[in-house]
Structure 1
Amino acid sequence: MPTDHRNYVNGEWVDSESGDVFEVRNPANADEVVGRFQDSTPADVEAAVDAAVEAQSDWGGLPGPERGRILRRTSAVLEERKEEATETLVREEGKTRSEAAGEVQRAVDIFAYYAQKARDVGGVVKSPSGQNSGLSTRREPLGTVGLITPWNYPIAIPAWKLAPALATGNTAVLKPASAAPTVAEILFECLDEAGLPDGAANMVTGSGSRVGTPLIEHDAIDGVSFTGSTGVGTQVARTAATDLKRVQCEMGGKNPTVVMPSADVDEAVDVVGTGAFGTTGQSCTAASRAIVHEDVYDEFVDAMVEYAESIEVGPGLEDPDVGPHVSESELESTLEYVDVGQSEGATLETGGAELTEGVYADGYYVEPAVFSDVDPDMRIAQEEIFGPVLSIVRASDFEDALRTANDVEYGLSASIVTQDVTEAEQFLDRIEAGVAKVNEKTTGLELHVPFGGYKDSSTNTYREQGDAGIDFFTATKTVYRNY
């Protein structure tokens, strides 16, 4: 029998006042119900926010090292449950076992990192203009924050929002994505076991309209952090701005990898392929465009087709190269884009077909797809697909490649494969992206440096992770003393 899961409010596991639940199914086998979750209402959000507001003064009043101790214990408890969390993530989101294990470890590391950073939340001393006086700054928590997270990194992204929020003395209400909420629940179980005070962090599951919107609009919410699609994130930012709430939204991407003639083609194929097809292409930083110099274009296309056709697709628990899509709707969206690419005149070199036989019969699988002869203005070269579909665009020279790389509405992650130092530095200077890499895949992020995008990939307000996470969740007070 599938497990019934509850909301976490004021330190207790509680049912929604609606009495309704929704099911989450295994994307590798849609006949398997992973769990049933609370289909919550605005009244449940109200209870969670009330609990967070009530707890904020006491939690924010704890010394930073004491808050850090609880976060450090959370990291340790989660590490003890790493195998359980990994398998749960695979069964509800579809990642391969290796990908899921890496994500859980990232959540472990994030809590350990911010446990230490909690000691550093303070301010700076400045030299005053007058004698017998003092001038300094203080960092103070915003208060109570609302966190809305996506399904594609269902434990890492909640961790990189919750950990800095709690480290800096805020209390929080999290709405996890409905497609994959179980691992977020495990994270809250770890916080509870670590001794987090009642109400300091709360979790409410349910739809965006009945949970997300009331959370953003609530008068007692002082800041909102959102990760998801550009369309939804734009509306989140507008709604939060109405009440002058602090807001950060990290959203979509259409990430390029530029391949120049000096590159080793096999290395370039590996860089692009892992970036494009890892996590089934369901990453905001996935490489969905390869912009390849005409001198190595044909060689690159042939090698990329061979790479894509060697990829093993299968159930995540068997640890293949690529797992299923998270849901039927995501699969259908990818298949629709494959049709769009062909109708626009691009050449489907390989893949793009739904897999339906044998082990694939009850899941949401597709062959990794490679398109060549892609014009930069085609939809498959402009719109985020969020599936294992790579568009290869021909470039005549470096300037043409850079222009094509920048000629989209997004600006999240980008990379170049080259042995020319001048090209590399020019790329880093001129690419319109929040993350820029040389000879590396577009995916993969260090947790101690800022993460965020340009253009429609971000609200361009505050970055996440590292010290930037501290910046978002704190307000700066300037203090004058006259002795």
Structure 2
Amino acid sequence: MVDTYQNYVDGEWRDSETGETFEVTNPADQSDVVGAFQRSSSADAAGAIEAAAAVEDEWAETPATARGTFLRETAKRMDDRAEELTETLVREEGKTRTEAAGEVQRAVDIFYYYAERAKDYAGERQEPSTTDQNLYYVREPMGVAGLIVPWNYPIAIPSWKMAPALATGNTLVVKPSQDAPNVLRKVFECLDAAAEETGVPDGVVNFVAGGGEEVGGEILDHDAVDTVSFTGSRQVGEMIYEQATDSHKRVQTELGSKNPTVVSASADVEEAADVVAAGAFGVTGQACTATERVVVHDSLYDDFVEALVERAESLDVGPGLDDPDMGPHVSESELESTLEYVEIGQDEGATLEYGGERLEGDDYDDGFFVSPTIFTDVESDMRIMQEEVFGPFVGVTSYSDFDEAVEIVNDVEFGLAAGIVTQDHSEANRFVDEADFGVVKVNEATTGLELHVPFGGMNASSSETYREQGEEGMDFFTITKTVYDNY
């Protein structure tokens, strides 16, 4: 029998008014049903928004130390349930156990981090230009925050939106992805228990599952929502940005990318292959920071391709619960998209060096598995070098001088994460200066982020309004008030 899970609205677990649900299955084994979730209506979303709006003043006036205590108690409960959260994440999204455990720990750490930051983010005193005056500014919460979150990091990304929003005194309505809602629903169980323990008012946090048009559309249009934060595809993000700004909301979007790694003439080939393989094939390439383009110096090109193919051949692909090197795609549509790009690359004249096929056999037939894919002989203007694939898929091209490498790196509309593998410090510094990307890494995979520094992209990868994570992650959820106090 399939377990049916409810929304969390105004401090209660409740069914949608529609009476309808949708099922989520394990992408490694479609016979394994994770659960049934509410197919909510716009009215359900409106009810959650109104619950959040009803207590926004009370929560804003709650002392920051008390808000931090709420976050800390939530983190403790998440930490206590880390193994359960990890297995839930593996079953619904497909990550390996190791990858899922790392993501769960990151979410716990994020809540602990903002629990401490809550109490020292109130404002700042400034020196006035006259006597007998206090001059200072305070940060106040925006109000109701609508969060629309993705499936690929279904606990970490919601956490780095929810925790700073709550720390700064905002109330929340969160719409999870329909592909992976259960791990976030369990975080709301932790929030519910922590709220009861610490006396947090009903309505401060709300969870509404369902479709983008019904739930997401209501978040974008409802007058009581003050801010909207979205992470997902460029196509959907641009639509959300336009719709939310038309409704006069503050908007933050983090979208896709086509991330490069340069392998310079001074690089160690084996190290470079390790860095690229980690960035391209980790989490099945289903990360907005995943490496999809490799730009290799002519002198190393053949040796690098050979080394990267060796890395791909050695990967153990299988169900995430078995903790292999790489798990499945999250859904059949994502798998089909990757396979379609394999056909596109071949049609464009690139060489399929390795992989690019759906895996079949006893361990694979009920899941969405694909082999890691490497294309060579690619040109920068090919679709497989311009469009995000969002799978374990990488194209390798060559360059002869550093200016050419930088030109290829920047020859995309996106700009999220870029890397270089080099032992030339001058070259590394030039790359940091000239790469038009929000995150630049030297001798490290493009994936992987510290939680206490700003994160976000440039160009088509972001709305370029506010960054996420760290102290800047709190800026989006607050507005400043400047005070002139004459005495």
Q: Same fold (TM over 0.5)?
A: yes
State the match for 1:140 in structure 2. Answer: 140
* Partner Cα separation in structure 2 for residue 197 and residue 366 of structure 1: 47
Letter of the 2:469 partner, please give it.
Q
Q: Deviations over 1:446-482 (max 9, x none)?
A: 0000000000000000000001111111000011112
* Residue 388 (structure 1) aligned to one of 387, 392, 403: 392
* 2:446 is the counterpart of 1:442: yes
The structural deviation recorded for 1:117 is 0.5
The structural deviation recorded for 1:190 is 0.6
1:150-169 matches, cutoff 5 A = 150-169=150-169
* 2:208 is the counterpart of 1:204: yes
Aligned partners of 2:220 and 2:247 also within 8 Å: no
**SS of 1:324's equivalent?**
coil
Aligned partners of 2:318 and 2:363 also within 8 Å: yes
* 2:235 is the counterpart of 1:231: yes
**SS of 2:306's equivalent?**
helix
State the match for 2:365 in structure 1. Answer: 361
**SS of 2:445's equivalent?**
coil
Letter of the 2:433 partner, please give it.
D
State the match for 1:219 in structure 2. Answer: 223
Identity of matched residues, %: 60
Q: TM-score, normalised by structure 1?
A: 0.99
* Residue 305 (structure 1) aligned to one of 276, 294, 309: 309
* Partner Cα separation in structure 1 for residue 44 and residue 149 of structure 2: 18
**SS of 1:365's equivalent?**
coil
The structural deviation recorded for 1:405 is 0.4
* 2:10 is the counterpart of 1:10: yes
Letter of the 1:107 partner, please give it.
A
1:1-400 matches, cutoff 5 A = 1-195=1-195, 196-400=200-404
**SS of 1:124's equivalent?**
strand
Q: RMSD over aligned Cα, in angstroms?
A: 0.6
* Residue 465 (structure 1) aligned to one of 447, 465, 469: 469
* Partner Cα separation in structure 2 for residue 266 and residue 111 of structure 1: 37
* Partner Cα separation in structure 1 for residue 408 and residue 258 of structure 2: 12
Q: After TM superposition, what 4+ stretches of structure 1 lie above 6 angstroms from structure 2? A: none
Letter of the 2:302 partner, please give it.
D
* Partner Cα separation in structure 1 for residue 437 and residue 350 of structure 2: 26
Q: Deviations over 1:223-248 (max 9, x none)?
A: 00000001111111111111221110
Q: How many equivalent residue pairs?
A: 483
* Residue 478 (structure 2) aligned to one of 470, 474, 480: 474
* Partner Cα separation in structure 1 for residue 55 and residue 120 of structure 2: 22
Q: Deviations over 1:153-181 (max 9, x none)?
A: 00001100000000000001000100000
* Partner Cα separation in structure 2 for residue 372 and residue 359 of structure 1: 29
Letter of the 1:273 partner, please give it.
A
User: Which runs of 5 or more structure 2 residues have no equivalent in the other structure?
Assistant: none
State the match for 2:410 in structure 1. Answer: 406
**SS of 2:17's equivalent?**
coil
The structural deviation recorded for 1:356 is 1.8
* Partner Cα separation in structure 1 for residue 248 and residue 484 of structure 2: 26
The structural deviation recorded for 1:121 is 1.9
* Partner Cα separation in structure 2 for residue 114 and residue 300 of structure 1: 42
Letter of the 1:22 partner, please give it.
F
* Partner Cα separation in structure 1 for residue 220 and residue 312 of structure 2: 42
